[in-house]
Amino acid sequence: MWGCTRMTRRRLDCPAGSIWRLALWLAAAAAVAAVPADAADPKDDIVLGAMLAEFHLAVASSLAAKQQLPATYTEQNLADAAQLARLTHRPKVDGTADFDLALGAFLAFAGSLDQEDKAPLSPSQARFLACQLVGADTLAFAELGRRMQIDSDGAAACIDAFAKATASWNERLSSFRLGPGLIQPAGAGPLYVEIAPVFNPANEAIAAMLRESGLYDLLADRLNAQMLLPGARVLLATECGGTQGFYNPERREIGLCDERIAAWIAATTASGD
């Protein structure tokens, strides 16, 4: 079976490798009207990491946004995205994709781009998020730290930065945690996911990828098992006509634009690394 599978005790897993190779080349072929020569390209992890990062950043931004999602992410948005990654990623087991590895590969790639490339995430933002993750788990993100040239002093600074971000997260959101004896604030609700039908062939390849893999449903289920949000909301993966994002507070709708993922696929396809 392609995609993520639901298993007992809320364990949700995705098979490593092949689904992401298929997804990458489906989307890349639609985007550039060409079939890449090597369908086992190591850039698979970067594409998976981009999809993970976009999920975490979209949800994180909605936690602070009152109207439209910011055009550029704040440090709080980036730090909250790291917290969401820690809540929803699981240690790799045989036959499943390594989400930490993929997210690290993506951030190392995004951090290496030129500012002029105008990718959906700037190099400095990628480095900030990378530091948060290294601070969260120096072993799991050791390769990311190496590629970002974070030395021992830098790692210590990242650990301190992550600790401060965690304190801020807990101050704002600890009351929404789920667990025995815990009562959530009035209005708290789960995160839902909807993959909208689209018209552009490249975006439809991405939408099909997300539907078939179940990746965002997996992440939402893991998040909902840990905590509720300040109001139920829907993460809507949709065609936007650009790489912006949006949050509609009245409808509690988080817009994650397919074009953002398409931009990352195009960047990895164009990269000679």
pLDDT in tens, 215-267: 999 999 999 999 999 999 999 999 988 887 888 888 889 999 999 998 998 88
* Tens-place pLDDT, residues 117-153: 778 999 999 999 999 999 999 999 999 999 999 999 9
Picking from 6-10, 172-176, 268-272, which range would have the lowest pLDDT averaged per residue? 6-10
pTM of the complete model: 0.86
Distances in Å between the Cα of 210 and the Cα atoms of 73, 182, 195 are: 23, 33, 7
Q: Which long-range contacts (CB under 8 A, 24 or more apart) does 115-120 make?
A: 117/267, 119/263, 119/264, 119/267, 120/54, 120/243, 120/260, 120/263, 120/264
Res 81 pLDDT > 60: yes
- The token pair at 213 is 């893999």
Higher pLDDT, residue 182 or 24: 182
Mean local confidence (pLDDT), 81-102: 90
Higher pLDDT, 112 or 43: 112
- Which parts of 33-178 fold into alpha helices (H)? 44-64, 75-88, 99-112, 123-136, 142-147, 152-173
Q: Does 6 score more than 70 pLDDT?
A: no
Q: Is the pLDDT of residue 83 over 60?
A: yes
Residue pair 29/206 in contact by the 8 Å Cβ criterion: no
Q: Enumerate the β-bridge partners of residue 192.
A: 234
Query: Where are the chain's structural domains?
Result: 13-270
Report d(CA 37, CA 50) in Å as an integer. Answer: 22
- Pairing of the two strands 5-6 and 12-13: antiparallel
Contact 48, 104 (CB under 8 A): no
Cα–Cα dist 157/179, whole Å: 32
Q: Which DSSP state fits 193?
A: E
